[in-house]
Structure 1
Amino acid sequence: MSLQDIISKTIKDNNKPIGFDVFMNLALYHSEFGYYRSNKTLFGRHGDFITAPETSDLFGYTLARQCKQVLNSGDILEFGAGSGVLAAQILFELGRLSSLPDKYYIIELSAQLKNKQMQNIKKVLPEIFNRVEWLTELPKDFKGVVIANEVLDAIPAKRITFSEGCFVELGVDFQNENFQWKKFTQPYMRTGASLPDLIEEGYTTEINVQSIAWIKSLYDFISEGTVLLIDYGMDKSEYFHPQRNDGTLKCFFNHESSDDPFCNIGYQDITTSVNFSDIAESAVDAGFEISGYCTQAMFLISLGIEKCLLDEKDNKIRIKLAQEVKQLVLPGAMGEVFKVMALSKKQSVKLDGFKEQDLTNKL
């Protein structure tokens, strides 16, 4: 049975369309055929997309400096560690700074990715590999730094559309051997997430209710520490801009993007941008303090990414690093599309990553 068959059977068994969040969850996380559970190469030049850690080691080295400031003899926990490259970068740099945590925990749903992480980290850092531990559930009374790089965009979201004076949910139906969008009849009720004002007929957007619940779960297991969320997204005024009338849904396959989630099911990534205003609101409701929000570019610059270039004596390597830094900080590349948000619990230190810019008041 293929993933297409499994999803179409789910719709048939449901006797009506399923929510897009249900479809997205099956397409990405089905235990056998989901995109993130497959043996396909997902990251890097031979995959479907390139993340910041895959772009340059300097990303992880710079992020390590922010970790060092707030570790306070705590540990690090990374959600969805991809190929393990970011963990290796952070541990390498913290070792260089004599600030290694006792434990670097990783929570990873994919057995295939977990194996890849183990191989990559062991290969680069065999001498401290025993500090890395994979968890199957959230720890209790965690103290330290939590890192979620490109995690929120992959949490299944609902799609809603404005129809005849109210928002209705856009579900997924299966008719004539094809998946298709289908409007639910009852109005969509707001559940903890904001909705846009003053919009026109047919305006479509995404609401991520699960990410709000996820933020609450973070607060519950952290006794003291800082959460660093790094993802592509924006504040709600930009997220719900009238011109963004078809939402933020994006699919990635072989480095090409589309807005069609119904092709290459199980073989393409499906994402939605992060509404950081919703994340901030749910974080504050949970009990967190917002310790900063800015573009990835300004976060990395605040932490001195350019010093890594100046420290490099080899001219050829310095030219290569300069190209990588451009990819991470230039507006046309990752610099402004990606944002960094810090949430704190019982942590009063002013974070170095937001020295040059803090856009919290825009949220």
Structure 2
Amino acid sequence: MAQPPFSFPLPTDPAALDHSDRLQALVRDEIARTGWMPFSRYMECALYAPGLGYYSGRPEKFGAGGDFVTAPEISPLFGRALAHQLAELMALSAPRLIEAGAGSGRLAVDLLGEFERLDALPERYDILELSADLRARQQACIASELPHLAGRVHWLDSLPEQFEGIVIGNEVLDAMPVELLRHSAAGIEQAGIVVEREGTLALDWRPAPDALAEQARSVGFHPGYESEINLVARAWIAEWARRIGRGGLLLIDYGFPQAEYYHRDRRSGTLMCHYRHHAHTDPLWLPGLNDLTAHVDFTAIAEAGFESGLSLAGYTSQAHFLLNCGLLDLLDRDADPLARARDNTAIDRLTSPAEMGELFKAICLLRGMADVRPLGFTRGDRSHTL
């Protein structure tokens, strides 16, 4: 059995190990038919293979008992502040909201609760979720905490053909499959997966197709440089742009403008794996049990939107965005000392440059809403850096 790429015990749950074995068998079978699997396809299998991928087959992913913690799990203040921005945008477009990748359902609960307090409930709250496991968890969370609003929430199997309103995505782009590339002595090479004699999966580098190699050169792949290009995220933005009439997308994730993403000093890229709150860099270790992510190139996201007819309405740090949305005004000044301390700790995690405040960014792309300056971008806008 493979050793973990960090000082941490191997999982001992036979069901979990069998889960990973079955996913690896699926990958080996596909490679047997094709001979070579691009890394992006492997990442797609590892995360989304029906019933076996990390997001489609793991029962516990978020929170203290999972592999990582997202902002909605840190504090309901995140969703409540975000609701003020979404309420403003829905009032300017249409009272419909789609949440892409709703995780545990925690964000939906916090958003709906604050919309109700603001008297700004959407006519319909749709969730686009690929994972049947997560869909069930979201349904249970909403039914338990907001039973009187559960009827407003619907789950989608695919993107709607036409849509007016706002699409919200928190930590969605980072989980999209990426192409892994390097600039070696042989030129621009693309990573793929092969099966070694003993049946283990291994990385294999081959000359990249001309179009992909040209993209790598254009963003600054220097000799000895290895990083990622997310073609799926760009296509996802373009698909939404094709469907959105009046409205847009508000996306929050960790990442950089292109000049920072492909900085000369970031020579090994941003691809990371997460297992039980441990980060490591071996994407082939126990696939199906690890989350695989890459940071977001926000310049590429803005370009994909612009090329598809969307306008860039704002780009800033999560800290600026949440504070602009009135995060501090949501504090309960009459709460007991323990509750106030808990909220202050949460706000520090959400806004501190040493925590999520600087690494995480918010970007807003709109159509049919010319000259709108959304609430969350009124101060600290960084659109000029893209």
Cα distance, 1:197–1:66 mapped onto 2, change above 3 Å: closer
In structure 2, list runs of 5 or more residues that go unmatched: 1-20
How does 1:207-286 map onto structure 2 within 5 Å?
Answer: 207-286=229-308
Distance 1:118 1:125 in 2: 10
Partners of 1:305 and 1:222 lie apart in 2 by: 29
Paired position in structure 1 for 2:12: none
CA contact (8 A) 1:297 1:328 kept: yes
Choose which of 43, 55, 68 in structure 2 pairs with 1:24. Answer: 43
3-state SS in 2 of match to 1:168: strand
Q: Residue 170 of structure 2 aligns with which residue?
A: 149
| Residue in structure 2 matching 1:307, options 325, 329, 332 | 329
TM-fit CA distance, 1:352: 0.7
| Partner AA of 1:213 in structure 2 | A
- Report the Cα distance in structure 1 between the residues aligned to 2:33 and 2:186, rounded to whole angstroms: 31
Match for residue 29 of structure 2? 9
CA distance in 2, matches of 1:229, 1:194: 24
Map residues 96-135 of structure 1 onto 2, 5 A cutoff.
Answer: 96-135=117-156
Change (3 A) 1:316 1:310: same
Which of 360, 376, 380 is equivalent to 1:353?
A: 376
Q: CA deviation at 1:185?
A: 2.9
* 1:158-173 correspondence runs (5 A): 158-164=179-185, 166-173=187-194
What's the secondary structure of 2:60's corresponding residue? Answer: coil
What per-residue deviation string (whole Å, max 9, x for no partner) do you get for residues 166-223 of structure 1?
A: 3121112221332222111355423895645565432101001111110011111211
Decide whether the 8 Å contact of 2:314 with 2:381 is kept in 1.
Answer: yes
Are the counterparts in 2 of residues 167 and 188 from structure 1 also a CA contact under 8 Å? no
In structure 2, the CA distance between the partners of 1:63 and 1:160, relative to structure 1 (3 Å rule), is same
**Inter-CA distance 257–340: structure 2 relative to 1 (3 Å threshold):** same
Letter of the structure 1 residue corresponding to residue 223 of structure 2 = E
Whether contact under 8 Å (1:192, 1:212) holds in the other structure is: no
Deviates more, 1:125-134 or 1:218-227: 218-227
Answering whether residue 338 of structure 2 is matched by residue 320 of structure 1, we say no
Please list, as runs of the form range in 1=range in 2, the aligned pairs for 1:30-49 lying within 5 A after superposition.
30-49=49-68
Residue in 2 that maps onto 1:330: 352
Moved more, 181-190 or 289-298: 181-190
Cα deviation code 1:67-89 (max 9, x no counterpart): 11111242000011000000110
The answer to whether structure 1 residue 61 and structure 2 residue 88 are counterparts is: no
Percent identity, aligned pairs only?
Answer: 36
- For residue 310 of structure 2, what is the aligned residue in structure 1? 288
Give distance in 1, aligned partners of 2:200 and 2:122.
Answer: 50
**Residues matched between the structures, number:** 362
How far residue 141 of structure 1 moved from its aligned partner, in angstroms, is 2.8
Q: Return the offset for 1:308.
A: 1.4
Deviation digits for residues 137-188 of structure 1, max 9, x if unmatched?
2223312111011111111010111023631211122213322221113554
User: 1:193 touches 1:208 (CA, 8 Å); kept in 2?
Assistant: no
- 192 and 70 in structure 1: CA distance in 2 versus 1, 3 angstrom threshold: farther
Q: Distance in 1 between matches of 2:232 and 2:271?
A: 16
User: Do 2:59 and 2:133's aligned partners in 1 also have CA atoms closer than 8 Å?
Assistant: no
Give unpaired runs (5+ residues) of structure 1: none
TM-score under structure 1 length normalisation: 0.96
CA distance 1:98–1:253, change in 2 (3 Å): same
Bigger mean CA deviation after superposition, 227-236 or 301-310: 301-310
> How far apart, CA to CA, are the structure 2 residues paired with 1:193 and 1:138?
28
**How many angstroms does 1:226 deviate by?**
2.6
Question: Which SS does the other structure have where 1:139 is aligned?
Answer: coil
Equivalent-residue separation in structure 2 for 1:33 and 1:50 (angstroms): 22
Counterpart CA distance in 2 for 1:68 and 1:193 is 38
Q: Distance in 2 between matches of 1:80 and 1:344?
A: 20
In 2, Cα distance between equivalents of 1:75 and 1:311: 32
Contact 2:50 2:57 in 1 (8 A): no
- 2:187/2:207 contact within 8 Å kept: no
What are the superposed Cα offsets for residues 65-111 of structure 1, whole Å, 9 maximum, x if unpaired? 00111112420000110000001100000000000011000010111
